[in-house]
Structures are given as structure tokens and as C-alpha cells.
Structure 1
Amino acid sequence: MKTIYLLFALLFSSTLFAQTFEADLQVRPRFEFRNGYKTLLPENADPASHTSQRTRLILGYGDESLKVKFSGQSITVWGDSPTMRLEDNNTFSLFEAYGQYQTSPNFLFRVGRQVLSYDNQRILGEVGWAQQGQSHDAALISWKPAANHRLDVAAAYNAEAETLIEAPYLVNSYQNLQMAWYHMDVNNVGFSFLFMNTGYEFDTALQDREVDYIQTFGAFHNFVSGDFSGNVGAYGQAGSRNNRDVSAWYTGLNLNYKLSSTWIAGLGAEYFSGTDMDDTSGEIKSFTPLFGTNHGFNGHMDYFYVGNHQNSVGLLDIYGKFSYTTSKFDFSVMPHVFSSSANIVDAAGNEQDNYLGTEIDLAAGYKFRKDLQVNVGYSQMFGSESLEILKGGDKDATQNWAWVMLSFSPKLFSYTKPEVTAL
């Protein structure tokens, strides 16, 4: 290790700025037992089990104004390749790779693959639960005109490959994105405003490809007042998708009360507008949290908005939370009661009850040391006939999900070269 430090000392000896180089490693295996995860398991189907693993290497360099970050990862499932392998099925990929330059204490720009994460991550988040995470190839400008004000503006334009003429964009993602986020703090109260425009290519009836745009806009407010804390958000969506008009909205409220230094009780609700199953207008009335960290909201079993439930009957989620947290151990119980916000009809066209089901989530974690943690969880879904209509499967069968995850996250080394006079 001393040799490494000496190498960087020689490398940085001609700079005027203090410089830092860091290297971190994360190894995160997770075992899951899936007996109704994401959808109701059919009567004669057997549950699935697997172990996935994230292996991520994070390198960072920074000085007074320049920052460069590289985060590469390999996402595998144990056994997806033979023990004597020439190569893995899941190859090494980039999670983050960007350069950032801060022209002044109040202004910076960042270019490259990066995480766009804001507020409670309801609309834009890192999706840390997913082994692969979520990042964007984008350019970002961040301006802080005052200590309690910040404006971020980001833009992205995607292509599938280098070409000499215009080519269709066939990746399952947006073709271009523009985003502006403004935040201000007043004492212990925060206010955020978001506007995002996302363009998606689609095939027309004439086999041409066009770009439709969805606008997502709204506000988020969080507060702390004594033992009370909480947040509220409201967003709308307009524009068009696949040549269909979009008119949708969302609102959410979360309140927490600190019972003691370790115990917190909370309750909340979220409402997503939906489209009636017998709707014939052709309009999309279903709100979609496009890039949110959805696993953390509408139940850990991911029945809603985790790669599913788009352009569907919407959702009303009423939930509670009871949690215990210390420096090493945490535990939580979180029940959800789900209903649709739009009409559900059966195959004969008869309108059904809006109640979808109740889910109970249990989760716990223990930190052995700062770079080693274990987390476990168990969830059970009690589905209704209406959920069976939406998802298929058998509501009367036991539907549950259990998991255990280890997180190894050591810092390999961190070197800081103090500011020196150039030679």
C-alpha cells in the first residue's frame, strides 16, 4: 500500500491543487424465494429461487474543481455459466462514467453516464434495489445562486450506434430527454419543482418512425417539525405516447412521528390516475413514474410500476409503517392496502370491486461493521378477484416472497495529495 501512495505522490507533485483518488468495491449477493413475486402464482406452478449478484468497482478522482468518476459492474445469477467458463453470460458494463468541472462554488457541469436522483426518488431515482441500478447518458448543469437554492438542468440525446445517416432508435428507452429541477430550503422546509420532457420513438401505421413527447411536471414538499416529519408531492403528465394523448396525474402524502430515539410510526397514501378497462377514448389516463425508485413505495413484492402496470387501471395505495432503528440494527413492518383508481371489468364486461389486495412487508438489517451488512425480508400478498383479473394466477394460493442479501463494500484505498506549489 505504501508503494501505491508513493506512486500517486510522484504523479501529483506538480499540481497546485489538493488531489484525491479513491477506489471502492461492492460485492452484493442476494438470494430470493419467489412464490408470487410481481404477479400471482398460478395454481399448478412451482415457486422460483435464485441468487443474483452485483459486483461493482468504483474509482474516483477529484481536485478543487475537477471530478471524474468511473463505476463498472457485472450483474450475474449464480449458475448462469458453467463452473469452467470461458466467459460469463452477463458481461462487464458501465454504471457511471462522467467528468465534472466546477467553474465556481456556485456552478458546475457534468457530462457522461450518471445518476439523476431527486427528492424522494418518486420520479427520478437510482433504483438501488435493482442489482443493475439506473443511470443516464446525459449532460447536466447545476447552479446554486445561494446556499438554500439550486437549479439543475439536464439533457440527453440517444442513438443505438454510430451511423452515417439517420437510423431508428430501437432500444427500450427514451430517444431524448430534457429536465429542469429547482429546489429551495426555508428553515426545515424544502420545496422542489420538476419539469421533464421525454421523447419516445414509435412505428406509425405507415411504418415510419416518429417521436412522441410526454411532459411530466409537478412539485414536492418535505418538512421537519419537532418529532413530526413528512412530505407531499403532486405531478401531472401530458403530451402523447404511441400516437395516443396522455392526460394523467399523481399525488402522494407521507407523515411520520418519532416516538422515541429509535421508534418511528408513519402512515401515508399514493394515488395514480388510471384508465378504465372498458375505456374506448384511446386516451392514456394512467400516470407512470417514469424513472422512479418504485421498489421502495408500493409494496416490496413489486406488483405495481416495477416493469409492470403501465397504462393500466392506476392505483390507490394506503399504507402504514412502524420502524425501529439503531446504529447497527433496523427493523420495519409496512402494511399496504391496494385499490385501483379506474374501473376493472371481467371477461363478460361486468364491473368489479376496486379492491386489489393487502400486502404485508417485513424487513430487517444488521451492520456488522461499516463495510459489511446483512438485510433480510419477508412479504405476503393477500390478493383479490380483481387482482386475479389484472394479473392472472390464483388468488387463493399462498403468495409470498423472501430474501436475504449481504453487502460487502470495502474502501480499497483513499489517497489525498495536499496542495503544493508547482515545480
Structure 2
Amino acid sequence: MSAGPTGRRRTQRSVIFYPRSFIMNKTVLSAAIAIGSLVLESSAGAEELSQFISAGKATADLRLRYENNDTDNNLKTADALTLRSRLGLQSGQVNGFSALVEIDDIRALVDNYSPESPGYNLVADPEDTEFNRVQISWNNDEFSAVLGRQRILLDNTRFVGNVGWRQNEQTFDAVKLGYKTPVYQAQYAYINQVNDITFNDVDVSHHLLNVNYSGFKPGSLTGYAYLLEDDATDTSNDTYGVRFSGKQAVNDLSVLYTAEYALQKTDKFDASYLALEGGVLVQGVTLALGYESLGSDDGAYGFQTPLATKHAFNGWADKFLNTPNDGLTDTYVKVATAVAGVNLLAFYHDYSAEQGSDDKGNEVNVQAGKNFGKYYSAGVKYAAYRKGDNGTDTDKAWLWLEAKF
């Protein structure tokens, strides 16, 4: 038996699996059920109810993945072979309303990894079963709303995302409102529970606001405010930022550019964030040079992104999921292309402290992936991190097969 930070206990490797989060956050679940009942009761009758059911569909997403974590420490090299089974029911649409129920089940076929087996290095894909999404949605031409357990992905997911790389994704018990025109898009979300990738449920009181304007010819401009509060620790983390990104054709190539700046204020500290990336797309090859700085407050606090899809940033070896107190700068080169239907991606990262002269190391990332028809895909991925003044050398490798129906 094991217990997470919330104090809930779960049994590993039982024969019969029950969704761990069968009872969602009571406020969100009750509201979703009430709205769903109103939708059906307010429908014109059996015809609408029939459409709600008959126009629906079942969905399945199966991903079998091998992961190896060879870190230069006193733990054993981790080998994990896990199967993620994601099964869902999506209703039809009635008067703009629809419903979705989705369950995730993660099983370890080879469990030589922490947290399943002590003494091994970490692979962050523990076994368990839970409701991944349970939501009621409504939309018309301009407005939208989603209530319940849901994905929330904002911009490039640097600040808010679903961590889709892990077998169990991050979801939120929330209400999300949207407004969209040809040039404006605004999203607001109130979150009262974060359901993280390790099956922990964290009570929060988060407010997210993201407004985008795409009417500029050079690109799109986004402003955001993410006001986060952890109910258990009664601590806050408020981030305000602006992002601009665009693409311009110049003769036979396209010029790509992104700039982003943010300020973060906690109960005790202040820190800043800066990201710059420029590149070109020519003959199907993308070449880019980037710089990302997660600032520090006098070496006592580093800029944090607690709701982000962190694996996509600062290297796939996941050495900087929590920003060091002296901050982090990441200067990187990216190359992406496709050869014979195989998508290829490579990064080189050079890391250093944002304050002081600490060398944080460097990393090489390579990936190849291919789709086989409409439903199947496969890929291989590798990360090699080499330490700087501190840390541990780490090599990670992945191989996966996926089927979506």
C-alpha cells in the first residue's frame, strides 16, 4: 500500500481495477451533473435525447511504451514497459451541449522502476486507474464553456498544459469560459483541483486569464495573468506576461520568431521570465536558435511554472522540472524535418545559472516518429544530459507504439 500527499491510499497490482478518482471534486461534479440534467430536461423531447446518445461515439487511445533511465547515481538503471489504455464516451450535441467521460488505466508490464520498485531510478508513470476527463461542454459561434474534469492547454503550454508525454496526463477540475472571433480569442478558467501525472489530487484556487489578438500581419499578441493559490499550503504564485509570435515569407523561405516576457510574484519573492526564438523554414527543414531565462530573486528563488508541460522545455532528461534557486538559462538549437514520412527532431541545450556563474551542463535530444495510416503511430526518442559544475549525468531512451480509434 502507498499513500500520496493527499493522504489517499491505493493498492498496486490488484486483479480488479477501479477508477481511483471515482468521486471527483464534489462541487465540480455536482455542477456538471446538474447542468447535464437540465440539458436533457430542456430538450424538445425524445428526438433530442436520441441525437445526444446516437450521435455519440466511443474512443480508445492505447499507448505501449518502453522507457530506460540510466542516471549516474547509486540507484539501479530503470526499465519500464507500461501500457496506457484511455477509453472514452463522447456524446452527440444537443442545443450546443455535449458530454464526455474518459478513463485512464496505466499498467506496468515491466516494473523495474521507481515508484513501482524501490532502488531503481524514476520513471514517472505509476500504475493506477482514474477518470481522466468528465465534462459538460457548450459552444456556439463565439462563446464556449466547459465544466468538469478537463484538459487546459494555453499557448505553447509553457505555463499551463496537460503533460501529454506522460502516460497519465495532467487534468483540471475547473470551469473554463471562452470567447472567439476571427481576430480575438479570450479564455478564463477557475480551477479548484489539479490532477497530476502521478495520480495526486491537489486542492487549489487558481484563476487563469489568457487573451490573444491575431489581427496583426506580423503575428499574434497574447497577454495573460495566471493567479495560482495552493489551498493546502496557503501560498500564492501570480504570473503576468505577454507573448508575441509570428511567421513571414521571405522569397523561398519563412522567417519564424517568438518573444515572451513575464513577471512572477510569490508571497516572498519576485522573478522574471524571458524567451526568445528565431528561425527559418526552408525546403521542409526548420532551423531555430532559442534563449530561455527563468530568473532568480537574489539566488533564493527561481521562476517556477507549476502547471506547465515541463517535459517539452529545458531538455527531455527532465533535469530542471523545478527551476534552481539561482535560476536557469537555456540556450538551444533546434532542427526539425521529415524524411520518407518520418518526422525528425533534434535539440542541443546549453544550461547555466541565471544568477552567478554556475555551469548547469548540456544536453542532446533526438526523436523520430512516424504515423501509419489514420490510427497507428510509433516513435523512438533519446536524451543525453551531461552535468556541469554539479548534478548527475543522465541518459534516457524511449520506444513506443500507439493506436487511436
Band of TM-score, shorter chain? 0.7 to 0.9
The corresponding residue for 1:328 is 341
The corresponding residue for 1:406 is 401
Distance in 2, matches of 1:99 and 1:172, equals 20
Question: Residue 16 of structure 1: CA displacement?
Answer: 9.8
Question: Residue 154 of structure 1: CA displacement?
Answer: 1.2
Question: Residue 138 of structure 1: CA displacement?
Answer: 0.5
Matched, 1:31 2:66: yes
Task: Report the AA paired with residue 133 of structure 2.
Answer: E
Q: 1:185 aligns with which of 193, 196, 214?
A: 214
Question: Residue 90 of structure 1: CA displacement?
Answer: 3.5
**Cα 1:147/1:232, change in 2 over 3 Å:** same
1:18-167 superposed matches below 5 A: 20-36=55-71, 41-42=72-73, 45-63=75-93, 64-79=95-110, 90-102=127-139, 104-144=140-180, 146-158=181-193
3-state SS of 2:289 partner: strand
For residues 263-295 of structure 1, the C-alpha deviation after alignment (integer angstroms, 9 at most, x for no partner) is 11111010001255xx5xxxx531101211111
Matched, 1:216 2:239: yes
Distance in 1, matches of 2:279 and 2:46, equals 51
Distance in 2, matches of 1:136 and 1:58, equals 17
The corresponding residue for 2:379 is 375
8 Å CA contact retained: 1:174, 1:199: no
The corresponding residue for 2:202 is 173
Question: Residue 328 of structure 1: CA displacement?
Answer: 2.8
The corresponding residue for 2:39 is none
Distance in 2, matches of 1:401 and 1:109, equals 40
Distance in 1, matches of 2:110 and 2:286, equals 41
8 Å CA contact retained: 2:294, 2:327: yes
- Structure 2 segments unaligned to the other structure (5+ residues): 1-44, 113-125
8 Å CA contact retained: 1:275, 1:311: no
Distance in 1, matches of 2:363 and 2:194, equals 40
8 Å CA contact retained: 1:101, 1:108: yes
Distance in 1, matches of 2:353 and 2:395, equals 21
3-state SS of 2:220 partner: strand
Task: Report the AA paired with residue 106 of structure 1.
Answer: E
Identity of aligned residues (%): 20
3-state SS of 1:77 partner: strand
Q: CA RMSD in A?
A: 2.6
Question: Residue 97 of structure 1: CA displacement?
Answer: 1.0
8 Å CA contact retained: 2:173, 2:194: no
The corresponding residue for 2:266 is 239
Q: 2:305 aligns with which of 251, 275, 289?
A: 289
3-state SS of 2:98 partner: strand
For residues 165-198 of structure 1, the C-alpha deviation after alignment (integer angstroms, 9 at most, x for no partner) is xxxxxx7735211111111112461111111111
- Structure 1 segments unaligned to the other structure (5+ residues): 1-11, 82-88, 161-170, 204-210, 344-352, 411-423
8 Å CA contact retained: 2:258, 2:278: yes
**Cα 1:300/1:140, change in 2 over 3 Å:** same
TM-score normalised by L of structure 2: 0.77
Distance in 2, matches of 1:379 and 1:182, equals 35
Greater RCO (CA < 8 Å, at least 6 residues apart): 1
The corresponding residue for 2:390 is 387
The corresponding residue for 1:15 is 48
3-state SS of 1:173 partner: strand
TM-score normalised by L of structure 1: 0.73
Larger Rg: 1
Distance in 1, matches of 2:170 and 2:193, equals 15
